[in-house]
Chain A
């Protein structure tokens, strides 16, 4: 079954403590992988799109990378305002125009 799995489910960091979130997928023919940030009770906010293995994108303290089986969202020197749930989603060939979403990683950054 085609799946998107995010790990860990929850992560607690101290301010300044860098870490990585993982999004692994078991689909063939990846067309695009998306990262979103979601604050409680709010709509997901777009962060990055990655299209092919080896691609990297950066935005402030966040850096997303992509391999043939997974994507990482690296958070460097996080701040409390980075606390949120981070979601990934994939498009793949034969998916009939539907994104498959992971359940997210809930990140808490303590001051």
Chain B
């Protein structure tokens, strides 16, 4: 158990809908990262927040957004969902978010878009 929690574990929804994924980092960690993992593309970095502020951005679609709250939990919002958004979504956290900080991953949310 990494100490990172994610809810829900599974999510099934329809195209065009909007969902919210939630992540609580390890106690004491200030940075949260979001990743998407699909079978053919491996782990794709989406976005990082550090202490409430956006710190780095990866291949995140405009239909996706995230935020980190004062209690350091984070939410990833996915809207206008398409079939291709079906994937595992992971949250990771690290102490400070520096270049060599170890990222600890949560168990993931499996999103299925029908």
- Interface residues of chain A, those whose CB is within 8 Å of chain B, are 31-32, 34, 36, 41-46, 49, 51, 87, 89, 91, 95-99, 101-104
Contacts and interface: CB of A to CB of B under 8 A. Distances in A.
Contacts of B107: 42-43
Given A32-B99, A99-B45, A104-B42, A43 B105 contact: yes
B7 to A, nearest CB: 13
A79 B110 CA distance: 29
Nearest to A51: B100
Interface residues of B, number: 23
Contacts of B48: 97-98
Nearest to A97: B56
A43 B100 contact: no
B102 A96 contact: no
A26 B17 CA distance: 40
Nearest to A36: B105
B67 interface: no
B90 interface: yes
A31 B100 contact: yes
B55 interface: yes
B19 interface: no
A41 B45 contact: no
B28 to A, nearest CB: 16
Interface string B78-114: 0000000000101010000101101111111010000
